[in-house]
Amino acid sequence: MKELVCIVCPRGCHLQVDENTLEVIGNSCEKGAEYGKNEISNPLRTVTASVAVEGGIHPRLAVRTNRAVPKGKMFEIMNVLHSFKAYSPIKRGDVLIENVCNTGADIIASRDI
């Protein structure tokens, strides 16, 4: 059994997940069961970071993926963001990189600049 704290909502239920059957106990709702199963079989995370930006009032721009991506892809995505440069003007929600690292997720701006 793997012990986890559900992070889907502030209640923070303590979950136990059977690594063989993916049965989840301790969840108070179905979202928690889904979270527990995914954490064992295919953990996902939203990536938040910043990238260099040229022509803006700040040297860096906060960005994030527009959906959760496999946790194992995070370092690869961070390497892409490390060498990426955006150019102002940019609106919040603008897509800066499509399908980053073939995850199906886009990198989008978290603010205007």
Rule CB under 6 A: which residues touch ligand SF4?
Answer: 6, 8-9, 11-13, 27-29, 31-32
Q: How far apart are CA 70 and CA 64, in angstroms?
A: 14
Identify the H or E element spanning 39: helix 30-41
The least CB distance from residue 16 to ligand SF4, in Å, is: 12
Q: How far apart are CA 102 and CA 93, in angstroms?
A: 20
The least CB distance from residue 39 to ligand SF4, in Å, is: 11
**CB-wise, 27 or 103, nearer to ligand SF4?**
27
The least CB distance from residue 32 to ligand SF4, in Å, is: 2
Q: How far apart are CA 89 and CA 82, in angstroms?
A: 20
